[in-house]
Amino acid sequence: MSPSRTFLDAGGSAPLTQRTRDALVAGFAEGWADPDRVSSEARRARSLVDGSREAMADALGARTEDVHFTSSGVAGLERVIAGVWTARRGREEVVVSAVERDATVHAAQFVAGRAPREIRVDALGHIDRDDLAVALDDPAVALAAIQHANHELGTVQDLAAIHELTAARGVPLVVDATSSIGHIASPESWDALAANPADWGGPSGIGVIALRPGTRWLPAWPEGDDWAPGGVSVPLVLAATVALQERLENADSEATRLADLIDVVRARMRAVPGIDVVGDPERRLPHVVTFSCLYVDGEALLSRLDREGFAVGSGSACTTSSLEPSRVLAAVGALTHGNVRIALHPGITSDDVDRFVDAATRVIEDLRSEAGAPAIG
């Protein structure tokens, strides 16, 4: 990255640290063989996977034998939802929150053959537990798929309370931890879990699944697949684990530092007229914030910021193929257009954040003026 670039889109992908890159290089030198074969080279690859699995289990608070690698965070969500759903034969409905990732909603739709039941959330993005309790009372419910933290809002769900509701009804709780692990303490209340190494500074192309010992599942994929068709890349497994370990070493101090930086963004952007800063300001991911801007075109805002040297995202809504209104922002009743999602990685400094807020404020003002937007009172 050129020194003039400031990467503030580290949700789901982040520049790799030197230690993670070193792990990759070592992994490709030592772990290129197929770990399922019988040679010494295969055994060496297998031992790298085994060691990584143990370390990953430790970080997730799971048993080593209950942790599995797959080909991406999304693949993990899909497989764990499909596997748990299939073991609940006769029950078909999937319950999700209104702010789940598209991947969760699509996986539920695919496996059940119909849209999942969406539980409403409050203005901060917390799931409505009364609504959830009513939904879970339906005997047709196969599983609930609820996120630990929201990738756009930053809001962290109260999983302990949610798990109490699901467990009381014998409904398995699949937790999407693809935005939280490596940023806040791993969740404890879940029956199955999916995580995304690319979100914590690991490589893309690898996902993590964990199951509790009592969680039943059945394969919902071709024989021989295990959790990943054709197995996973050993070097990616190794690098994903090293990246998580590095993040966890400094987790507490780094979370405090990033949370303070996000507080600055929240406060300064809220001071700009017509800006909606979303999500729970307290119970949130330390490194994420989204704000929406009245009378501003989202794509123009992102492009202009990019040209000024700031890479920012726009949550689930912002990909090259779909600059659609954000489902998540709609669910919390916020402005669904002109939104910017900031996700900080450990290389970001206070100075970067100050420069960003200055630039964003100026760009928003320019865009409004160019569009002839009315004055905001």
Q: Which residues bind a copy of itself (CB under 8 A)?
A: 1, 5, 7, 9, 12-16, 21, 24-25, 28-29, 32-34, 36-42, 46, 71-75, 78, 102-103, 106-107, 109-110, 196, 198, 203-207, 221-225, 228-236, 299, 302-303, 306, 311-314, 318-321
Shortest separation between residue 349's beta carbon and a copy of itself, angstroms: 18
Angle between helices 73-86 and 102-112 (to 10 degrees): 30
| Smaller CB separation from a copy of itself, 67 or 132 | 67
Shortest separation between residue 309's beta carbon and a copy of itself, angstroms: 9
Shortest separation between residue 99's beta carbon and a copy of itself, angstroms: 17
Shortest separation between residue 33's beta carbon and a copy of itself, angstroms: 5
Q: 203 with 24: CB under 8 angstroms?
A: yes
CA distances from 72 to 67, 194, 320 (A): 14, 10, 20
| Smaller CB separation from a copy of itself, 184 or 206 | 206
> What single-letter DSSP state applies at residue 63?
-
Angle between helices 234-249 and 251-270 (to 10 degrees): 80
Show the DSSP H helices in the chain as ranges.
18-30, 40-60, 73-86, 102-112, 129-136, 159-168, 234-249, 251-270, 298-307, 327-331, 350-370
| Smaller CB separation from a copy of itself, 128 or 225 | 225
| Smaller CB separation from a copy of itself, 163 or 235 | 235
Q: Whose structure tokens read 């500074």? A: 201
Shortest separation between residue 318's beta carbon and a copy of itself, angstroms: 6
Shortest separation between residue 123's beta carbon and a copy of itself, angstroms: 27
| Smaller CB separation from a copy of itself, 136 or 305 | 305
161: three-class secondary structure by DSSP: helix
Shortest separation between residue 168's beta carbon and a copy of itself, angstroms: 30
Tell me the sheet residues that pair with 194: 176, 209
| Smaller CB separation from a copy of itself, 82 or 173 | 82
| Smaller CB separation from a copy of itself, 41 or 131 | 41
Report the alpha-carbon distance of residue 123 to residue 155 in Å, rounded.
Answer: 11
Report the alpha-carbon distance of residue 239 to residue 258 in Å, rounded.
Answer: 23
> What single-letter DSSP state applies at residue 293?
E
Shortest separation between residue 374's beta carbon and a copy of itself, angstroms: 28
| Smaller CB separation from a copy of itself, 33 or 272 | 33
Compute CA 8 distance to the chain's CA centroid, rounded to the nearest angstrom. 15
- Nearest residue to 143 (alpha-carbon basis) of 181, 93, 184: 93
Report the run of H or E that residue 136 belongs to, with start and end: helix 129-136
Angle, alpha carbons 238-349-290 (nearest 5°): 85
